[in-house]
């Protein structure tokens, strides 16, 4: 039986026709052509003979190869193209036809592995006779260079699919178009490029015919469906979303029992929140088989068309099996707003796969902001996955490590859990890698860090340690609102749904007050700066903003945005769409957030007006007054009543000078004053232009 591993046969045959030096003599390859392939080639040629152009330059070489394969009894001379008369062309074609008819009369339809596999696939996909013949033709084209080249010599009245359907199967053009659409819907073919007429065969089907070890129906199903997915997590690992967990299980169970079409469940949230494991767990709990949409085809990363073809294929096959569902990870690959790879028709194609799916589908995405709203509207149920708390993640880590029989110090594991926010699946990988190299705890930590870098796409992945609260002094803050009184009232009222905009010059104590307030309220602090949130990838900044608010909500923490002007800049000045979308994202979250949210900025005049209306309090932080400067000398240097006033000083300036003075061993009042003056002179504040007062 002849089935080649190498599917690039067209290129190989062109090497022959262009007189290149192939690795193997072409006649050695032609000897391997099976009887079944010869039989089908003969039929194709007979039906297409009227449309064959023997005036094509390479047809003489092609005919010589045919003669070698079929061993024609009659000597037939095919001339090089030289304006052959119609009579010469007709006589030559008739001679070839007679030889081909003679061959068919002498042989029976041979059995073959190709035929056996075709019958098994036909059963899985419910192929009718024309569909069967179309698929067989495309398979044979891939493994047989002579069949592949038939279309090269046709009169090119139609594209490949149409040529075969009209000339060989004797179908009407409109019927061929109908069959084409049906086979695309079944995932057997995908549209190739922007030209709807050109098709590509499902890569997994090609794999079945290229691998001689694949013979049985079970093996074929395993290739087309993959493994039944099992979750590594337990039911209680998702007790933080008990309601959503139970609803999802009920939806899936009901959909299976009632054969409900169009059931789609979307799970969205940041990496490492358990979306994929949750989907698998729901299916396992409901005793329903789950098959994952492939991300790899023929040892290559799957393209969009590959993934959609695979989805359609699974829908057809599983619709006959029952009690099964599909997992489609990284749904943004095919649902993104810029989905134009195959034109607008592809969007309609995906819409149909979603709306008419006979099998429930779990879709997961890390980037909900890049998903086209048209697809979101078609979801049956959606769940947002917030970041796991340290406690929940630690319990999962412990079980994963126990399962893999890896020994690690408990305190070390707690430390790693706090330092690295990565999915349990990656912990499993880190454990396996450590065991492969017979490594210890330190090796394990190294592997965890490396995996965390891949997930986060950042070099510095280790979580920042909680800030050490600097000494806060109400007397060294010059604000237009009595913040001492404000702090007392916030503590007394017990309400947490407030927001503050702290604005003013750098070093005036804005961030320090925000942290002090959190401490007074007994709240954990989550601090985000522009560098933490800004991403060069479309939609990812908005995603990072949403994740920051979600994390604060899940931990009931105070969220502080330093340099908030980056995300709340006036939309009237925006020049790009993403600048507006970032502001919109911030405003949306500010409107609904239930816990303390504080923004600090040095550029109050650049903020969007809509954002200003959403702050409960807007507090200006200014330079130290004369009395406060004197207090600062005492506070930082232990110098009482120096009677010195330098306009434009902040508590931050005093802290910076104190650090320098201690390093240099300076204690003299005059020298300290000069150092403070220097701090003021480098400031770019408009309030201090050409003014340094004493």
Q: What is the DSSP string of 558-578?
A: EEEETTGGGTSB-GGG--SHH
CA 37 to CA 67: how far, in whole Å? 15
Question: Positive or negative, the Cα torsion across 304, 305, 307, 312?
Answer: positive
The model's confidence at residue 360, banded by pLDDT at 50, 70 and 90, is very high
pLDDT in tens, 16-67: 444 434 445 666 777 778 889 999 999 999 888 887 888 777 788 888 888 8
Answer yes or no: are the C-beta atoms of 49 and 145 closer than 8 Å: no
Q: Which residues contact 74 (CB under 8 A, 6 or more apart)?
A: 95, 98, 99
The model's confidence at residue 227, banded by pLDDT at 50, 70 and 90, is very high
Q: How much is the average pLDDT of 287-303?
A: 79
pLDDT of residue 342: 44
Q: Tell me what percent of the residues of the chain surpass a pLDDT of 90.
A: 30
pLDDT at 462 over 70: no
pLDDT of residue 25: 64
pLDDT at 338 over 60: no
pLDDT at 395 over 70: yes
Q: How much is the average pLDDT of 149-165?
A: 73
232's tokens? 């590594």
- Let me know if 151 is exposed, middle or buried by CB neighbors in 10 A (0-12, 13-18, 19+): middle
The model's confidence at residue 564, banded by pLDDT at 50, 70 and 90, is confident
pLDDT at 343 over 50: no
pLDDT of residue 339: 52
CA 540 to CA 413: how far, in whole Å? 30
List the beta bridge partners of residue 598.
500, 560
pLDDT at 562 over 50: yes
Of 19-23, 232-236, 261-265, 533-537, least confident by mean pLDDT is 19-23
pLDDT at 130 over 90: yes
pTM greater than 0.75: no
Q: Tell me what percent of the residues of the chain surpass a pLDDT of 70.
A: 85
Q: How much is the average pLDDT of 256-271?
A: 92
pLDDT of residue 325: 97
559's tokens? 């969220």
> Chain-wide mean pLDDT for the chain?
82
Burial 636-655 (b: 16+ CB within 10 A, else e): bbeeeeeebebbbbbbbbbb
pLDDT at 458 over 70: no
Nearest C-alpha neighbor of 313 from the set 420, 194, 401, 188: 188
Of 369-383, 454-468, 541-555, least confident by mean pLDDT is 454-468
Count CA atoms closer than 13 A to 636's CA, side-chain side: 30
Of 5-19, 130-144, 209-223, 447-461, least confident by mean pLDDT is 5-19
Of 8-12, 262-266, 657-661, least confident by mean pLDDT is 8-12
Of 28-42, 239-253, 426-440, 470-484, least confident by mean pLDDT is 426-440
pLDDT in tens, 616-628: 999 999 999 999 9
Of 60-69, 111-120, 553-562, 678-687, least confident by mean pLDDT is 678-687
């Amino acid at each position: 039986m002849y089935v080649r591993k190498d599917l690039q046969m067209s290129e190989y045959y062109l090497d022959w026709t262009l007189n290149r030096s192939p690795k193997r003599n072409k006649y050695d390859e032609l000897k391997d052509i099976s009887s079944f392939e010869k039989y089908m080639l003969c039929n194709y040629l007979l039906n297409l003979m009227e449309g064959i152009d023997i005036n094509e330059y390479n047809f003489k070489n092609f005919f010589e190869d045919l003669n070698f394969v079929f061993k024609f009894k009659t000597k037939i001379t095919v001339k090089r193209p030289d304006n052959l008369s119609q009579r010469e062309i007709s006589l030559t074609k008739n001679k070839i036809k007679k030889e081909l008819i003679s061959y068919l009369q002498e042989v029976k339809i041979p059995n073959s592995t190709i035929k056996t596999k075709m019958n098994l696939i036909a059963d899985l996909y419910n192929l009718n006779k024309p569909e069967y013949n179309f698929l067989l033709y495309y398979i044979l084209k891939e493994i047989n260079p002579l069949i592949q080249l038939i279309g090269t010599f046709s009169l090119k009245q139609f594209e490949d699919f149409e040529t075969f359907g009209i000339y060989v199967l004797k179908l009407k053009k409109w019927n061929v178009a109908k069959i084409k659409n049906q086979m695309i819907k079944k995932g057997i073919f995908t549209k190739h490029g922007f030209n709807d007429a050109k098709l590509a065969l499902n890569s997994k089907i090609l794999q079945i015919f290229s691998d001689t070890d694949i013979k049985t129906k079970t093996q074929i199903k395993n290739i087309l469906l993959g493994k039944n997915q099992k979750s590594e997590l337990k039911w209680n690992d998702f007790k933080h979303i008990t309601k959503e967990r139970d609803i999802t299980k009920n939806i899936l169970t009901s959909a299976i029992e009632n054969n409900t079409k169009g059931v789609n469940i979307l799970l969205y949230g940041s990496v490492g929140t358990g979306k994929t494991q949750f989907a698998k767990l729901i299916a396992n709990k409901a005793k329903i088989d789950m098959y994952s949409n492939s991300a790899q085809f023929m040892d290559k990363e799957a393209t969009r068309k590959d993934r959609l073809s695979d989805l359609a294929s699974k829908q057809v096959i599983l619709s006959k099996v029952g009690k099964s569902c599909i997992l489609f990870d990284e749904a943004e690959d095919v649902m993104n707003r810029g989905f134009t790879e195959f034109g607008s028709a592809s969007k309609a194609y995906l819409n149909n796969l979603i709306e008419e799916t006979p099998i429930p589908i779990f879709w997961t995405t890390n980037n909900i902001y890049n998903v086209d709203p048209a697809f979101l509207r078609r979801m049956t149920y959606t769940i947002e996955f917030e970041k796991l708390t340290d406690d929940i993640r630690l319990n999962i880590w412990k079980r994963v490590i126990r399962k893999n029989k890896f020994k690690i110090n408990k305190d070390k594991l707690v430390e790693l859990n706090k330092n690295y926010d990565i999915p349990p699946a990656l912990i499993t990988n880190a454990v396996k890698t450590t065991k492969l190299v017979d490594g210890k705890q330190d090796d394990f930590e190294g592997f965890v860090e490396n995996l965390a870098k891949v997930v986060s796409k950042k070099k510095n992945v280790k979580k920042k340690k909680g800030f050490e609260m600097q000494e806060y002094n109400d007397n060294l803050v010059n604000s237009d609102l009595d913040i001492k009184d404000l702090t007392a009232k916030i503590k007394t009222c017990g309400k947490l749904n407030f927001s503050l905009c702290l604005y003013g010059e750098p070093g005036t104590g804005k961030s320090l007050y925000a942290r002090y307030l959190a401490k007074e309220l007994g709240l954990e602090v989550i601090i985000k700066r522009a560098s933490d949130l800004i991403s060069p990838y479309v939609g990812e900044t908005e995603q990072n903003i949403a994740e920051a608010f979600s994390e604060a909500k899940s931990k009931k923490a105070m969220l502080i945005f330093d340099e908030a002007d980056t995300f709340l800049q006036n939309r009237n000045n925006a020049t790009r769409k993403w600048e507006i979308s970032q502001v919109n994202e911030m405003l949306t979250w500010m409107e609904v957030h239930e816990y303390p949210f504080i923004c600090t900025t040095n550029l109050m005049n650049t903020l969007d007006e809509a954002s200003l209306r959403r702050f409960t309090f807007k507090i200006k932080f200014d330079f130290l007054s004369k009395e406060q400067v004197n207090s600062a000398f005492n506070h930082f240097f232990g110098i009482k009543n120096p009677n010195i006033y330098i306009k434009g000083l902040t508590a931050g300036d005093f802290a910076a000078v104190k650090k320098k003075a201690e390093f240099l061993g300076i204690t003299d009042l005059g020298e300290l004053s000069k150092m403070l003056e220097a701090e003021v002179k480098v400031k770019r504040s408009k309030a201090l232009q050409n003014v340094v007062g004493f």
